Amino acid sequence: MNHSNQYEVGKLFEEVTIETKKIFDGKVISLQVDTVTLPDGSTATREIVKHPGAVAVLAIRDDKMIVVEQYRKPLGKSQVEIPAGKLDAGELPQAAATRELEEETGYIAESLIPLTSFYTSPGFADEIIHLFVAEQLVQGSMQTDEDEFLEVMAFTLDEAFTAIRAGRISDAKTISAVYAWQIKKLTGHWPL
């Protein structure tokens, strides 16, 4: 690439990989340590978790959001979150969102729109979550993974904020979804 302008979108302060050391390859994540050259010519190491990406769904029915409570081993406690799950290999986010919503809650959405996508931890992981809004829900059939146990509930916006204050809801995707839902209620539009 040969650009004359100093600033190129996405390349500011680029770090060039000089070595990649594979540490772990698991069923959900893998881990590598890259040695990089910094803009000043010095070197540093970067610990990088690779993740297949995920989807999450803000599903609304009768003015309540559908949430699931499940045990999160990394936190040592159960938490209330919007339905979510990893992308299968080659799966498009829209298809994964449809699949995860039905698997975890039993609902099929007749309207599913992409709201936003975000990296969860850009300092050490490449995980991206594609967040969708699902409306016009009809009954399908719940079918969780074999190592997945969860309870389905529905919260009003007020109940969601109460759950945030109580620490029952405490993850980035669900809090973002609650904020987006409040913006929708206040403005009539999803924040796109």
Q: Which of 28, 92, 138, 142 binds a second copy (CB under 8 A)?
A: 28
Under rule CB under 8 A, which residues in 105-164 are in contact with a second copy? 116-129, 146-147, 149-151, 161, 164
CB of residue 110 to a second copy, shortest distance in Å: 26
Q: Interface residues for a second copy in 158-177 (CB under 8 A)?
A: 161, 164-165, 168, 170-173, 175-176
- Take residue 120 and report the two structure tokens written for it: 């969860």
Nearer Cβ to a second copy (34/91): 34
Taking CB under 8 A as the binding criterion, the range among 17-25, 59-67, 94-102, 132-140 that sits at the site for a second copy is: 17-25
Angle at 51 between CA 145 and CA 142, to 5 degrees: 20
Q: What DSSP string describes 102-168?
A: HHHHSEEEEEEEEEEEEES-TTTB--EEEEEEEEEEEE------TT--EEEEEE-HHHHHHHHHHTS
Active site residue 110: no
Over the window 48 to 87, marking each residue x when it contacts a second copy by CB under 8 A and - when it does not, the resulting string is xx-x--x--------------xxxxxxx-xxx-x--x-x-
Residues 6+ apart with CB under 8 A from 34: 17, 19, 20, 21, 45, 46, 48
Encoded tokens for 156: 């009003």
- Which candidate in 69, 110, 146, 148 is catalytic? 146
Q: Which residue, 45 or 143, has its beta carbon nearer to a second copy? A: 45
Active site positions, annotated? 146
